[in-house]
Structure 1
Amino acid sequence: MVAMGQAALSGERLRQADGFLAEAWADMARHDERLRGVTVEVSFDRGVAHLTGEVADPEQLRLVRELIGRLSGVLGVWCRVGVAGRPPVVVDLGCGATKQWPGNLGLDIYPAPGVNAVANLAGSLPLRDDSVDVFFAVHIVEHLIDFLPLFDECHRVLRPGGVLHVMSPWWRHVNAVADPTHVRLLDVQTFKGICGQRPPGTPRWYPLHVGCDGASVFADLTPLPPDAPAPPPSHLARFFD
Structure 2
Amino acid sequence: MTELVSPQRLRLRDEFLRRAAEELFKHDERVRDLDLEVRFDGGVAHLTGSVPERAHLDTARELIGRLDGVFGVWDRVRVGGREPLVLDLGCGGQKQYPGNLGVDLMSTGEVDVLADLSRPLPFADSCADRVFLVHILEHLIDFLPLVDEVHRVLRPDGAAFILSPWWRYVNAVADPTHVRLLDVQTIKGICRRPGSPRTWFPLHAGCDGASIFAELRPVKDGSAEAPDAAHLARFFD
Q: Note if 1:183 corresponds to 2:179.
A: yes
The equivalent position to 1:134 in structure 2, one of 126, 130, 133, is 130
| Separation in 2, partners of 1:209, 1:201 | 21
Q: Which amino acid aligns with 1:215?
A: A
Q: What SS does the aligned partner of 2:13 have?
A: helix
User: C-alpha displacement at 1:83, in angstroms?
Assistant: 0.3
Q: Note if 1:210 corresponds to 2:210.
A: no
Q: Note if 1:98 corresponds to 2:94.
A: yes
Match of 1:113 in 2: 109
Match of 1:80 in 2: 76
Q: Note if 1:34 corresponds to 2:22.
A: no
Q: Which amino acid aligns with 1:144?
A: L
> Do the aligned residues in 1 keep the contact of 2:24 with 2:32 (CA within 8 Å)?
no
User: C-alpha displacement at 1:110, in angstroms?
Assistant: 1.3
Residue identity (%): 59
* Structure 2 gap segments, 5+ residues each: none
User: C-alpha displacement at 1:160, in angstroms?
Assistant: 1.6
User: C-alpha displacement at 1:226, in angstroms?
Assistant: 5.2
Q: Which amino acid aligns with 1:186?
A: L
* Structure 1 gap segments, 5+ residues each: none
Q: What SS does the aligned partner of 1:136 have?
A: strand
Q: Note if 1:10 corresponds to 2:28.
A: no
Equivalent pairs, count? 236
> Do the aligned residues in 1 keep the contact of 2:183 with 2:212 (CA within 8 Å)?
yes
- Give TM-score, length-normalised by structure 1: 0.95
Match of 2:169 in 1: 173
The equivalent position to 2:143 in structure 1, one of 135, 147, 163, is 147
Q: What SS does the aligned partner of 1:20 have?
A: helix
| Separation in 2, partners of 1:30, 1:232 | 33
Question: Which 10-residue stretch deviates more, 109-118 or 81-90?
Answer: 109-118
Q: Which amino acid aligns with 1:27?
A: E
1:183-230 CA deviation, whole Å, 9 max, x = no partner?
0000000011111x2234520100000000000000010101155542
Q: What SS does the aligned partner of 2:138 have?
A: helix
Q: Which amino acid aligns with 1:62?
A: D
Q: What SS does the aligned partner of 2:30 have?
A: helix
User: C-alpha displacement at 1:176, in angstroms?
Assistant: 0.2
| Separation in 1, partners of 2:4, 2:73 | 20
> Do the aligned residues in 2 keep the contact of 1:169 with 1:215 (CA within 8 Å)?
yes
Match of 1:57 in 2: 53
1:24-74 CA deviation, whole Å, 9 max, x = no partner?
111111221111320111110010000101100010011011001100110
| Separation in 2, partners of 1:50, 1:85 | 19
Q: Note if 1:19 corresponds to 2:15.
A: yes
Match of 1:198 in 2: 193
> Do the aligned residues in 2 keep the contact of 1:54 with 1:82 (CA within 8 Å)?
yes
Q: Note if 1:234 corresponds to 2:200.
A: no
